[in-house]
Structure 1
Amino acid sequence: MDDTKIDAYLARIGARRPSAATPDTLRELHERHLNAVPFENLAIHLGEPISLAADALHDKIVRRRRGGFCYELNGAFALLLRALGFDVSLLAAKVYRDDGTLGPPFDHLALRVDCGESWLVDVGFGRHTRHPLRLASDAPQRDPEGVFRVADAPDGDSDVYAGDKPVYRLEPRPRELRDFGPTCWWQSTSPESHFTRSVTCSLPTASGRVTLSGNRLVETIDGERKETTLASNAEILATYQSRFGIHLDQVPRVDT
């Protein structure tokens, strides 16, 4: 990533170029990325290809001002952090299902950033932490999104908890972005993937979160949930623009 692309990426998330790769800088970049770049799966329902190539990620997230899901968001953020001098490793994770069982390997991509100590960085899980988590501590860690914890799991893995609920299990082995390609393809094409079964676009806000799913706009404000049904395609497209900064020519639709 050259200086022009670095500056464009930083402008996309409203950040200045840091003078040093420090924990405070990492924390600020993490939060600014979450606040600016939506978690969304619109490409799947617009018939757009999903590529994990570096140029394609930069084009989508920075030039076209879109979002993505974990492989894209954390993949692109890793490229930016490395260009800024951070030591970044890509980690595979298995996501816990609602019934408490684990999903498949490479179900999720998260980052380990070694900067003074090891940090778990994740801007690609939807509602999750606003700030990086200490990987080496099993103590509860307070975050604007709640209390989180990283605990030892079998085989050298780590379980990430939100409150008392396990969220995903991290493997310690560093991976390459291309390792996630097959699962990214499955997530974006299989009828068994939850990403193919619904449309979502979501961002945190100062008081909660805003999510657009189909024609349903859901806002959480200070813990209270408000749902609005949008009446037309024009209103849906205008909401993507006004609430998420995403310009679309057509409404994403789930194939039935």
Structure 2
Amino acid sequence: MNKEKYLARFHARAKKEITFEQLDELQFMHMQHIPFENLDVIRRIPIYLNLESIYEKVVGRQRGGYCYELNGLFHWLLSELGYDAKLIAATVRRPNGTWAKSDTHAAIIVELDQSYLVDVGFGDSTLHPISLNGRPHKDHSGLYRVESREDDCYDLIRQTRDDEKTLYRFSTVAKQLVDFHEGCVFNQVSKNSSFTHADLVTRATQDGRITLSGTQLTRSDNGEKQKSDLTFEEKQLVLKTDFGINPESLY
């Protein structure tokens, strides 16, 4: 695996200094240029927790992935660049308020002057590292903060104009990528997984987000959303032009 080619994949450059500013830029650029997507899951193409195969998919074939792939590979990159980074497990809270299968989301903690939550594999979420000290951070999708709970657990919370929601709950206990094997299988095959029902591809933009869900395309810009239903041909074009994914490579 080549870290320079990976950085080029999302138009980033590494600096010699290990700083929050560089970490912030890396996360923001990654989320703009490498989509969160479940296209292999829907097509029943197995996903393995092997960094070399993930690298080949994301860098070699210009694809995206879901949390194990994106955060697994990004964690490798941060470690290669000299950051004190570790994978952690989280439990997602669904939009209806119920909790998904325990510890089946992978995220990252980076230690700098303090501890930061870093996540390039959750789709519509914060574009920047969030401090675990409770200090809020605002971007165009909401106001984010991490709230401490008992037993070394924390909640990632998003506040918008309409409401406030916990996105997921996490522990700071270090994990290895292989520890997510059960969750990776579950999210590929279970009818209770959020990823086994329809195509989902999403990435951040400079001022919003673009999301393909099934055949519906949503473009958001500074809080304003436009939705449209796509034909098969239009969907293929959107995959190629808006997400950089060659539809022919999916079959």
Fold in common (TM above 0.5): yes
User: Relative to structure 1, is the Cα distance of residues 139 and 7 closer, same or farther in structure 2, using a 3 angstrom cutoff?
Assistant: closer
- In the alignment, what sits opposite 1:236? 235
Distance in 2 separating the partners of 1:172 and 1:162: 19
* DSSP 3-state at the match of 1:195: coil
Aligned to 2:122: 125
Structure 1 stretch 116-125 or stretch 209-218: which is displaced more? 209-218
- Equivalent of 1:75, from 72, 81, 84? 72
Deviation at 1:162, TM superposition (A): 0.4
Once the two structures are TM-superposed, the CA of residue 224 in structure 1 deviates from its matched residue by 2.1
CA distance in 2: counterparts of 1:149 and 1:234, whole angstroms:
40
Distance 1:33 1:162 in 2: 21
- Any conservation in 1 of the 2:44–2:188 contact (CA below 8 Å)? no
Would you identify which runs of 4 or more consecutive aligned residues in structure 1 move more than 4 Å?
none
- The residue aligned with 2:148 is 152
When the two structures are aligned, how many residues end up with a matched partner?
A: 247
Q: Deviations over 1:138-163 (max 9, x none)?
A: 23222343211111112220111101
Distance 2:95 2:10 in 1: 32
The alpha-carbon deviation at position 102 of structure 1 amounts to 2.8
CA distance in 2, matches of 1:128, 1:234: 29
- Mean CA deviation greater in 123-132 or 202-211: 202-211
Pair 1:55-2:52 in alignment: yes
Quick check: 2:39–2:250 contact (8 Å CA) kept in 1? Answer: no
What's the CA shift for 1:99? 4.1
Structure 1 residue 248: Cα displacement: 1.6
Shift of 1:104: 2.5
- Structure 2 Cα separation of the partners of residues 125 and 17 of structure 1: 23
SS at match of 1:155: coil
Q: Match for 2:23 among 10, 21, 26?
A: 26
Unaligned runs of 5+ in 2: none
The answer as to whether partners of 1:236 and 1:251 remain within 8 angstroms in 2 is no
RMSD over aligned Cα atoms:
1.6
* Residue 139 of structure 2, aligned match among 137, 143, 147: 143
Distance in 2 (CA, whole Å) between partners of 1:239 and 1:29 is 25
Aligned to 1:193: 193
Match of 1:91 in 2: 88
TM value normalised by structure 2: 0.93
The CA deviation at 1:234 is 2.8
CA distance in 2 between partners of 1:219 and 1:179 (Å): 35
Say whether residues 1:173 and 2:170 are aligned partners: no
Amino acid in the other structure paired with 2:144:
F
User: What is the Cα deviation at residue 250 of structure 1?
Assistant: 7.2
User: Quick check: 1:247 aligned with 2:233?
Assistant: no
8 Å CA contact 1:21–1:86 kept in 2: the answer is: yes
- Deviation of the 1:197 alpha carbon: 1.1
Alpha-carbon separation, structure 1, partners of 2:139 and 2:237: 32
Distance in 2 (CA, whole Å) between partners of 1:61 and 1:83 is 17
Aligned to 1:13: 10
TM-score, normalising length from structure 1? Answer: 0.91
